[in-house]
Amino acid sequence: MVECHGPSPDAVNRATTFGVRQRSPAPPPLRSFTIPTHYRSDLIGRLKAFRKAQDPKKKDLSPTVLDLGPVRFVFARHFGFCYGVENAIEISYKALEENPGKRIFLLSQMIHNPAVNDDLTSRGMRFIQDTHGQMLMDWSELKADDIVIIPAFGTTLETEAKLRTLGIDPLKYNTTCPFVEKVWNRSAQLGQKDYSVVIHGKAAHEETRATFSHTAQGAPAVIVKDMAETQELGRIILGELPLSRFHELFGTRCTPGFDPVKDLVRIGVVNQTTMLATETQAIADHLKNVMVQKHGEADLKAHFADTRDTLCYATNDNQDATSELLKAEADLALVVGGYNSSNTSHLVELLEQRFPTYYIKDETEILSVEAIQHFNYPGHKLETTTNWLPAKRPLTIILTSGASCPDTLLDRVMLKVLGFVEGVKDPRQVLEVLLT
């Protein structure tokens, strides 16, 4: 772990060994985004900036520790707003600024964070659809001079076409993440080379629906949810299961006319960018081995496309940094993010391997020193846990967030917890000393 005075050589070596060589290619040339000041953090943001200045290429993924005496907070090297989210936020607020007096609509949740979406709707924006694509209003209510913002997850070609028939340009304020578009482009390239596309994702998720739509225009496609489904798909390819099993399992998650006999001869794997990168890679590796069994090592390239470079660098970084947290000693973990945030839920899954972990949307979920309300992701329900904050001192707490969570929420969570503990140092004063 890195204290605020900087990383140790051992930490650097450990982080480099852990996964830097596996990381996806660098993001597009970095640029600064104009983010509203109410999303910026006076505390956590300074720690992130400090680590970034020390290690701009993120070669050291070891955590950062903020020692406040009776309480120590441990922060992942990489968390919070990613490139795609900052891009989406900038475009959304630009739309507000450039269109005073006009009606502005969000096609659906711009990102999966309630604080951000609530702020946009408080400024007059309205949702057209929910996150599952169900209409919240009738298309007929839209007018040609209305503004419609496409969310960071992108949207389907069918929805884009619908907006154009209404006289609305869907790309004028298009916040689709560049890395999602990268997946679409690679899928198109695979189709041009007569590959079918296996999409690792959640079929109901906005991004997967969009990726499926864009892929389907140029290639046969099928969606797999996890390794268990992938293994079944592999057995179908190898002839170990009847073709009827394909239609039972994937019939509603494949392109019309998908023929497993001919459409599973040449395949490539892409993913919903917020899925666990390690799981996507494991799925790709499994299908690669299936194709070796089916066609032989010598003919592998003719039957399996290498698509590792489509994995989102930010998702990878978040997950790799969270995996580094598993090496820390801590009493509990707090993960902050929207309950429908796929990337946040995967961070929770990782941390639950070692620590009591509480998935909260903001500081209001911390009800008292005795009780915390948190989201049970597997059960998809809110629950309340008592005696969640140990009495031991010093107390070590992991605090991190998903890619769509503003750093200000982590500030508020940290300060809420500190209010329950006597004798803690003022984090602002500690930061002033450490960062000067």
Active site residues: 207
Q: Burial level of 71, CB count in 10 A (0-12/13-18/19+)?
A: buried
Measured CA to CA, the distance from residue 42 to residue 281 in angstroms comes to: 37
How many Cβ atoms from other residues are within 10 Å of residue 188's Cβ? 15
- Chain length of the chain: 436
| Cβ-based burial of 70 (10 A; exposed 0-12, middle 13-18, buried ≥19) | middle
| Whole-angstrom distance, CA of residue 94 vs CA of residue 329 | 43
Give the HSE-up count for residue 278: Cα atoms under 13 Å, Cβ half-sphere: 13
- DSSP letters, 127-188, are ESB-TTS-BSS-GGG--TT-EEEBPTT---HHHHHHHHHTT--TTTTB---HHHHHHHHHHH
Per the CB < 8 A criterion, the answer to whether 163 and 136 are in contact is no
Judged by DSSP in three states, 205 sits in: coil
Task: Say how far apart CA 34 and CA 19 lie, in whole Å.
Answer: 31
Short-list 207, 205, 222, 315, CA closest to 268: 222
Q: How many CB atoms are closer than 10 A to CB 21?
A: 7
Q: Considering only CA atoms, which of 79, 60, 77, 64 is closest in space to residue 11?
A: 60
Alpha-carbon 148 to chain mean position: 23
Which distant-in-sequence residues (6+ apart) come within 8 Å of 193 by Cβ? 266, 305
